[in-house]
Structure 1
């Protein structure tokens, strides 16, 4: 079930907006079927990896040696030079994670992969990067538990990833552009993360909009010198997910439409 995040005992979530449950019935058939197609790919990857006792986190970390908190995995991140999607996995210190979290993926899109017309939000204290292609946008983070299962989607303030900030509606337009369409370092993980963002795309869009609302609310209520660099505001929106339950509910929503939609 998609529900408001309740595992808050470790991470600093003071400014976080937890997204309430969203019903699949609000979406039309094409949207639901696109989500279901992505869900099929995601669940198939879980099924195949589980046959050998593996999961997507273990698959990505295979051969990486000792796992160190804060380091990016794989080293240098995963970057698709055709789509310009990017991601990495890492873990914060135990006292700075969600209570049920092992680590999380951060996903990005670089300017060459963005739709036309994307412009960073005006930020008086942020200097543009020397290379325009470094003006990347964070899309969403995916928290994983110790079993290698996705348990939460969340967004973060700018300082967390060092991204260039784009307004919510621009980020929503970027979401369909994210794909990692090559084999290294792991074809299953690349397909999985591409599929997961497609499966939950409408919910990620809602999280990104809540992100902007959280930042604006923080600025209005706290009036920091630079809200995007305020370390007190880290996680800006979050949503618990349960893959098996969500796949079931998605199928039920499609079935409820009947053959004629």
Structure 2
């Protein structure tokens, strides 16, 4: 199989797909995590409520005042960065089947001191300065109505990140919090809550990301897998916020019965 044919294979992940599978996964979670997901669900619903009252949506908010929307450009210009948590994100577009997507990151200062990138012996330049070392956490694809439609992970070259092992990435997820009002308080709250509400799926996607990278490295040992342009999206999963919220609340109600 050539590299392009392999790239065209389905990169969606098995696991949390059917309603029954999702509910079973949620039942197996520690109660404290399920409660955090429930709180995140309420936060997301509140963000939708206040945006709807103003005739706005998540995507419209992030593009408000930004002028013409160009593919590949980052919105807002310069990205959004929280100086206390060291979480970062931006929105842009360049893929079919969506309006655009958010990329979420954690910078070095927000990571545990003992966490380091995986060993790398290729020719690409990875960020080295402390204020430039960065890890991509998850991307969230949005439709034209401003609602999320999928989650996905990417290869290293896509965002120019430092590559961290799946366990370290999963350990960083709690650190993604944007706790200020610019460019939009509802968007910052919504995005922070999304990584909590969909934590089980995000963990699966990160695990699948590393499995895809390992598979490619095994099949093409003479290539720098982190720089292979044919390998862009490493795992993906369609989502519906309303289904996730319904499942969380039904499982919690079932535990209380």
C-alpha displacement of 1:215: 0.5
Q: Give the stretch that moved more between structures: 46-55 or 62-71.
A: 46-55
1:214 aligns with 2:212: yes
Please give the TM-score of this superposition, normalised by the length of structure 1. 0.89
The residue number in structure 2 matching 1:16 is: 11
Equivalent position to 2:238, from 237, 240, 257:
240
Provide the secondary structure at the position in 1 that maps to 2:131.
Answer: helix
| 1:68-217 mapped onto 2 (5 Å cutoff) | 68-92=70-94, 96-97=95-96, 99=97, 101-125=98-122, 126-217=124-215
Distance in 2 of aligned mates of 1:87 and 1:192: 12
Does the 8 A contact of 1:13 with 1:233 survive in 2? Answer: no
C-alpha displacement of 1:105: 0.1
C-alpha displacement of 1:15: 6.5
C-alpha displacement of 1:224: 4.8
Does the 8 A contact of 2:126 with 2:161 survive in 1? Answer: no
Does the 8 A contact of 2:126 with 2:160 survive in 1? Answer: no
Does the 8 A contact of 1:180 with 1:191 survive in 2? Answer: yes
1:28 aligns with 2:30: yes
Does the 8 A contact of 1:13 with 1:234 survive in 2? Answer: no
Distance in 2 of aligned mates of 1:195 and 1:110: 19
Distance in 1 of aligned mates of 2:250 and 2:116: 39
C-alpha displacement of 1:128: 4.2
The residue number in structure 2 matching 1:5 is: none
The residue number in structure 2 matching 1:253 is: 251
**Root-mean-square deviation over aligned CA pairs:** 1.5
Distance in 2 of aligned mates of 1:147 and 1:193: 16
Provide the secondary structure at the position in 2 that maps to 1:138.
Answer: strand
User: Which one scores higher on RCO, CA 8 angstroms, separation ≥ 6?
Assistant: 1
Distance in 2 of aligned mates of 1:37 and 1:130: 37
Distance in 1 of aligned mates of 2:113 and 2:198: 24
Distance in 2 of aligned mates of 1:13 and 1:46: 35
Does the 8 A contact of 2:72 with 2:92 survive in 1? Answer: yes
Equivalent position to 1:62, from 59, 64, 67:
64
The residue number in structure 1 matching 2:43 is: 41
Can you give the 5+ residue segments of structure 1 that lack an aligned partner in the other structure?
Answer: 1-11
Q: Which runs of 4+ in 1 moved over 3 A?
A: 12-15
C-alpha displacement of 1:14: 3.4
